[in-house]
């Protein structure tokens, strides 16, 4: 095992990483709902890095499946947490789409008003 003293350390690193991803995902949802978009790019970038790191640990976990007595149970818990994250991700995507649609409509209205103002001048 590279970097991990035991299987327990490996599994702990996976769940710690997934919890961190979940926290970032919830923070993203909060920022989107409050329409605070300026921090989103940096937070999304940090989240992608963490996802990549956890992905590497998960590959190591898969490679060591024969060394785990309760591999399927742990894998099931990992899948369950991952599904929760994906569900919130989908909500975030829907919320972002809706906000972008609103912004687009507002821009169209502003453009129309500007055209009308020019016409009346």
Token match 């920022």: residue?
Answer: 31
Does 92 reside within a domain? yes
Does 66 reside within a domain? yes
Q: Is the pLDDT of residue 1 over 70?
A: no
Confidence (pLDDT) at 42 = 94
Domain count, the chain: 1
Domain extent for 45: 7-120
pLDDT in tens, 2-56: 678 888 999 999 999 999 999 999 999 999 888 888 998 999 999 999 999 999 9
Contact 54, 16 (CB under 8 A): no
Confidence (pLDDT) at 2 = 64
Question: What span, in angstroms and rounded, lies between the C-alpha atoms of 13 and 15?
Answer: 6
Does 1 reside within a domain? no
Does 115 reside within a domain? yes
pLDDT in tens, 71-107: 999 999 999 999 999 999 999 999 989 988 998 999 9
Does 2 reside within a domain? no
């Amino acid at each position: 095992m590279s970097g991990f003293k035991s299987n327990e350390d490996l599994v702990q690193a996976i769940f710690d990483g997934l919890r961190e991803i979940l926290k970032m995902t919830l923070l993203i949802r909060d920022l989107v709902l409050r329409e605070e978009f300026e921090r989103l790019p940096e937070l999304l970038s940090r989240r992608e890095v963490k996802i990549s790191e956890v992905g590497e640990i998960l590959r190591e976990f898969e490679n060591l499946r024969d060394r785990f007595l309760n591999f399927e149970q742990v894998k099931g818990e990992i899948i369950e947490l991952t599904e929760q994250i994906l569900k919130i991700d989908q909500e975030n995507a829907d919320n972002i789409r809706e906000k972008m649609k609103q912004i687009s409509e507002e821009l169209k209205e502003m453009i129309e008003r500007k055209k009308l103002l020019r016409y009346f001048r």
